């Protein structure tokens, strides 16, 4: 909060911001390059729909005076809270410095959020705020954006119950970062098969001896060209699959695959792929159900000591049982 207040005060001192009825606003027209990120002209912008006494409808809030019952902090303009954009500038300037090499974010933040971050940061420091912006496309469920508010959220742990982390990475990297990423079971299944192909090529038996097998350099070069082209990960993945295919072919021909496999592991590592063997973990619930039923059968046949063993083992792994007149209920205990 002190950093935020210092920036707002600095902007007021330099004439880029003004106080009005307990609020502080940024003078958009005082920043000549406002709109350069979202490629909009100030004259075509529709005013921000905000209440308050502003000099110009385009001006945005840096500090908002407290309303009754709202959380608030003390400031030179009375109690209030920060506007929606200033905390990002405060954190960046405080923890990273005046100029960031790369600033990322979703495409939905380009305007007004990042535009406002640029304006308030550059007017405060006088320095360039960001050298490169990376804006990623949204994750979609069919035609809709995946979001908490739409209730169609699928969490990463839920996906990882059924798919390996590599399969999920391949699914994400299969779309260019600026394009929307559309979730579907088909796409995840395809990613799972892709992960298996890469693992098979990288971890399959090595042969030592005849022939050089697959040379790594041409694939490394193609991979770098793809990544140099604004992180074209779908194309870089295609290089990995080509390499895997050639490794398998030369292995079948009885050639040495060490160089090819080393290159495949190296380039996969760049994309965060581990290519580790192993199955995705299975959901635990059906196994817990089966044990609970088994325990009930044991109790009915009066094998209480075995039944108690099952209960205590389940307790050890965080599953609580409760015997009710309707039968045994189970739940995860809070850790």
What Å distances lie between residue 114 and 85, 95, 129, 193, 239, CA to CA? 8, 18, 11, 38, 35
Q: How far apart are CA 115 and CA 97, in angstroms?
A: 18
Does 7 sit near Zn ion (CB under 5 A)? no
Quick one: which segment of 6-14, 87-95, 165-173, 247-255 binds Zn ion (CB under 5 A)? 87-95
Residue nearer to Zn ion on the CB measure, 88 or 226: 88
- The dihedral sign for the CA sequence 17, 18, 19, 23: negative
Residue nearer to Zn ion on the CB measure, 104 or 327: 104
What does the block give as tokens for 268? 């996969």
How many residues sit close enough to Zn ion to count as binding (CB under 5 A)? 1
Residue nearer to Zn ion on the CB measure, 88 or 321: 88
- As measured in angstroms, the least distance from the Cβ of 213 to Zn ion is 49
Does 88 sit near Zn ion (CB under 5 A)? yes
What does the block give as tokens for 100? 């960031």
Q: How far apart are CA 85 and CA 174, in angstroms?
A: 32
- As measured in angstroms, the least distance from the Cβ of 113 to Zn ion is 6
Give me the sheet containing 181-183, strands edge to edge.
Answer: 144-145, 139-141, 181-183
SS3 133: strand
Q: How far apart are CA 118 and CA 123, in angstroms?
A: 8
- As measured in angstroms, the least distance from the Cβ of 129 to Zn ion is 12
What Å distances lie between residue 239 and 49, 136, 194, 278, 287, CA to CA? 49, 23, 12, 24, 41
Question: Residue with structure tokens 């912008």?
Answer: 45
- As measured in angstroms, the least distance from the Cβ of 88 to Zn ion is 3
Quick one: which segment of 60-68, 85-93, 147-155, 310-318 binds Zn ion (CB under 5 A)? 85-93
Secondary structure letter of residue 156 according to DSSP: H
- As measured in angstroms, the least distance from the Cβ of 154 to Zn ion is 24
Residue nearer to Zn ion on the CB measure, 17 or 88: 88
The footprint of Zn ion on residues 192-251 (CB under 5 A) is: none
* Residue 86: CB atoms within 10 Å: 26
Site map (CB under 5 A) of Zn ion, residues 160-199, x = contact:
----------------------------------------
Quick one: which segment of 83-91, 153-161, 165-173, 188-196 binds Zn ion (CB under 5 A)? 83-91
What does the block give as tokens for 334? 């809070």
- As measured in angstroms, the least distance from the Cβ of 334 to Zn ion is 33
Quick one: which segment of 88-96, 120-128, 211-219, 222-230 binds Zn ion (CB under 5 A)? 88-96
Closest CA to 235 of 157, 319, 173: 173
Residue nearer to Zn ion on the CB measure, 88 or 123: 88
Q: How far apart are CA 32 and CA 30, in angstroms?
A: 6
Angle between helices 165-173 and 233-252 (to 10 degrees): 130
Residue nearer to Zn ion on the CB measure, 122 or 166: 122
User: Cβ(117)–Cβ(34) under 8 Å?
Assistant: no
Quick one: which segment of 81-89, 157-165, 166-174, 176-184 binds Zn ion (CB under 5 A)? 81-89
Quick one: which segment of 86-94, 95-103, 204-212, 261-269 binds Zn ion (CB under 5 A)? 86-94
User: Cβ(85)–Cβ(11) under 8 Å?
Assistant: no
The footprint of Zn ion on residues 42-71 (CB under 5 A) is: none
- As measured in angstroms, the least distance from the Cβ of 215 to Zn ion is 45
Binding site for Zn ion (CB under 5 A): 88
């Amino acid at each position: 909060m002190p950093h935020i207040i210092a920036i707002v005060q600095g902007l007021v001192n330099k004439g880029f911001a003004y106080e009005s009825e307990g609020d502080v606003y940024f003078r958009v027209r005082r920043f000549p390059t406002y709109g350069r990120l979202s490629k909009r002209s100030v004259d075509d912008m529709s005013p921000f729909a905000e209440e308050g006494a502003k000099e110009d409808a385009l001006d945005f809030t840096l500090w908002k005076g407290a309303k009754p019952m709202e959380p608030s902090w003390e400031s030179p303009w009375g109690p209030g809270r920060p506007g929606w954009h200033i905390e990002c500038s405060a954190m960046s300037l405080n923890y990273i410095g005046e100029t960031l090499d790369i600033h990322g974010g979703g495409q939905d933040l380009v305007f007004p959020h990042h535009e406002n971050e640029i304006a308030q940061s550059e007017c405060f420091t006088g320095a360039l705020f960001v050298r490169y912006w990376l804006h990623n496309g949204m994750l979609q469920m069919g035609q809709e954006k995946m979001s908490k508010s739409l209730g169609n959220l699928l969490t990463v742990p839920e996906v990882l119950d059924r798919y390996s982390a590599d399969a999920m990475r391949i699914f994400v990297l299969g779309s260019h970062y600026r394009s929307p990423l559309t979730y579907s079971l088909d796409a995840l299944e395809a990613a799972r098969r892709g992960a298996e192909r890469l693992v098979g090529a990288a971890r399959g038996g090595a042969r030592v001896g005849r022939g050089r097998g697959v040379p790594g350099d041409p694939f490394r070069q193609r991979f770098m060209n793809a990544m140099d082209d604004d992180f074209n990960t779908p194309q870089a993945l295609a290089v990995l699959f080509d390499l895997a295919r050639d490794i398998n072919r030369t292995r079948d021909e009885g050639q040495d695959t060490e160089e090819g496999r080393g290159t495949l592991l190296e380039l996969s590592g760049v994309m965060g792929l581990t290519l580790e063997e192993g199955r995705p973990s299975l959901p635990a619930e059906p196994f817990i159900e089966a044990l609970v039923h088994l325990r009930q059968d044991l109790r009915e046949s009066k094998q209480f000591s075995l039944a108690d063993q099952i209960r205590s083992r389940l307790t050890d792994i965080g599953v609580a049982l409760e015997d009710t007149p309707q039968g045994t209920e189970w739940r995860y205990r809070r850790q």
